[in-house]
Amino acid sequence: MMTRNGPWALAFHALFVGFILAPLIVVCLVSFTTESYLSLPVTGVSLRWFRAIAGSDFIPAFYNSLYVATAAATIALALSIPAALATARWRFPGRDALTAFFLSPLMVPHIVLGVALLKFLSDIGLSSTYFGLIFAHVIIVMPFTLRLALATLTGLDRAVEWAAWSLGASHGTIFRRVTLPLILPGLAGGWLLAFIQSFDELTMTVFVAAPSTMTLPVRMFNYVTDNIDPLVAAVSTALIFVTILLMIAMDRFYGLDRLLAGKGAR
């Protein structure tokens, strides 16, 4: 039996949502200021700082982040599918230890990963390269793709696979035409979470990125250490609106409930 929330519960929820959204609202308001410094409340409304983005170093950094995040999420997903199939379908010695190893980047502080990866990439000659940066991002985002792939495969009813096998379908055909379409929402959700995590990663990237491979979070971090103008607020606001439009489009064409839930990840 469903019960309706009382006024105190509704007030608490409203305050909680307001507390979560307040920083985003403040950033959006500051980005439209006419002043040359961060100020609130704003004395006027202007798009000068949004126009300034076009001629700034944030555009190349944005493309670097987009390229690295797309590559890292895709590679991590490609590695997670066979790993999830092996650990979800078969029992073998060291199975739990292997799963814990794949998920271990979630438990290691990113500053520790950054120092370790900086030393490792320098030793093998891949420091300050896109390949080294993507390799580092694959390590930190693979737990997200693997976790959702495992959850989706664990909840999959294998009766449909056995039915296809009994009708003479090969293992490759079963995976391509039966298994993959059924687990696709979980895989898409894992890819999306991995992309967001990679695009937003700062702590580890500070150690392994070079000036030529600088991502947007690193560029924004470096900018705010030396400047106090609202340009970085305008960049943040642009990213917020792009993210909102992307989520609306995904909800329109795919359904965010299925995309992020991944058949009830647990």
pLDDT reading at 92 higher than 90? no
Classify residue 262 as left (phi > 0), alpha (psi -120 to 50) or beta: left
Q: How far is CA 113 from CA 36, 74, 145, in A?
A: 38, 21, 19
- What count of residues does the chain have? 266
What integer pLDDT is reported at residue 3 of this predicted model? 56
Q: What amino acid occupies position 70?
A: T
pLDDT band at 1 (very low <50, low <70, confident <90, very high): very low
More confident residue, 214 or 264: 214
126 CB neighbour count, 10 Å cutoff: 18
The beta-strand segments (E) located in the chain are none
| Token reading at 85 | 């199939």
* Domains with residue ranges and CATH for the chain: 9-47 (no CATH), 57-261 (1.10.3720.10)
Q: What integer is the mean pLDDT of 140-168? A: 83
- 28 class by beta-carbon count within 10 Å (0-12 exposed, 13-18 middle, 19+ buried): middle
CA-closest candidate to residue 230, choices 22, 52, 65, 61:
52
- Mean pLDDT, residues 172-178: 80
Lowest mean pLDDT among 23-27, 229-233, 244-248: 244-248
Q: Is the pLDDT of residue 57 over 90?
A: no
pLDDT confidence of residue 139:
92
- Asked whether the beta carbons of 28 and 230 are under 8 A apart, the reply is no
CA distance 191 to 70: 9
pLDDT confidence of 265, banded at 50, 70, 90? very low
pLDDT on residue 136: 92
Cα separation, 108 vs 135, in Å, equals 17
Given this model, what pLDDT does residue 5 score?
66
State residue 71's pLDDT score. 95
Task: Say yes or no to pLDDT of 55 above 60.
Answer: yes
Whole-number pLDDT of residue 75: 95
**With bands split at pLDDT 50, 70 and 90, how would you rate the model's confidence at 41?**
confident
Q: Which of 44-48, 106-110, 255-259, 262-266 has the highest mean pLDDT?
A: 106-110
Neighbours of 187 (CB within 10 A): 21
Model confidence pLDDT, tens digit, residues 104-141: 888 888 899 899 999 999 888 888 889 999 999 999 99
**Residues 193-207, mean pLDDT to the nearest whole number:** 89
Chain position carrying tokens 């705010």:
224
**Which bin fits 263, alpha (ψ -120 to 50), beta or left (φ > 0)?**
left
Residue 258 has a pLDDT of 52
For 28: left if phi > 0, alpha if psi spans -120 to 50, otherwise beta; the answer is alpha
Residue for token pair 């039996």: 1
Spatial contact of 44 and 254, defined as CB atoms under 8 Å apart: no
